[in-house]
Amino acid sequence: MKRLVTVLTFLLAAYLIQAASWSQPPKVPEAVQKANEVLTALADIDLLLVLAPLKLSKEQIGKIKPLLEQAQSDLMRMEERNAQALLQLKDEVMTARNDALKGKTPSDELRKKLREADTAALQLRMKTVDQVVRALWAKLDGILSDTQKQTIYDQAKEQMRAARRPDVDKVSKRELGEFFTQEVLLAPRTLPLLEELQKVSE
């Protein structure tokens, strides 16, 4: 799948992130705001170029939408758990920040706690994403036709080859389906696009 969003996306994102970090951020130029809308539209086109060949029916989209909503809800609960774990260290981190203003470095104990929290968060995220993706694809397998699934396998292989994955031809159909599920179906813009596609198909 060819990407329409180029380095301009990263330049704009970098600008917005930098502006958000300033204590008194300058007003975002109107042109930058409008450019962000264009970049979102370009990202939508990338997704639609992958979704359109599936030729999902109105009924199929109606069955898929709640599955995606549930999957996103499960992922958000995981992020909430990670956030709660980080908040437990808030007081220590804020104290360390105030000490850093005075030239003091964080204690080894705090550094250890942060490394452990980061490792735990990463492990939880990987485990949860794997479980959610596998469960979602298992349900989609019963909704999609053989032709649609073959299209997904082909799309997944194309993306893997673009990422220079060496064992593409040895990847199982289940793994191809799960790859497509994670990279395409669980993309933030996929659900609203499916809602638009459902209206178009009416």
The sign one gets for the Cα dihedral 45, 173, 79, 6 is: negative
Burial of residue 59, with CB atoms counted within 10 A of its CB: 0-12 exposed, 13-18 middle, 19 or more buried: exposed
Range of the domain at 130: 55-200
| pLDDT tens for each residue of 54-82 | 999 999 999 999 999 999 999 999 999 99
User: Among 14, 34, 54, which residue terminates a domain?
Assistant: 54
Residues 29 and 59 in one domain: no
User: How sure is the predictor about 177, in pLDDT bands with cuts at 50, 70 and 90?
Assistant: very high
Q: Which residue among 9, 37, 54 closes a domain? A: 54
pTM tops 0.95: no
90/5 same-domain check: no
Structure tokens at 152: 């997904």
Distance CA 138, CA 143 (A): 9
Same domain for 26 and 67, yes or no, is: no
68 and 108 in a single domain? The answer is yes
Which of 54, 73, 94 is at the close of a domain?
54
Do 136 and 66 share a domain, yes or no?
yes
Q: Are residues 121 and 194 in the same domain?
A: yes
Examine the domain organization and report whether 163 and 137 are in the same domain: yes
Number of domains in the chain: 2
Q: What is the pLDDT of residues 82-126, one digit of tens each?
A: 999 999 999 999 999 999 999 999 899 989 999 999 999 999 999
Same domain? For 34 and 69 the reply is no
Whether 64 and 157 map to the same domain: the answer is yes
Instruction: State the residue for tokens 């609960």.
Output: 77
Whether the Cβ atoms of residue 174 and residue 133 lie closer than 8 Å to each other: no
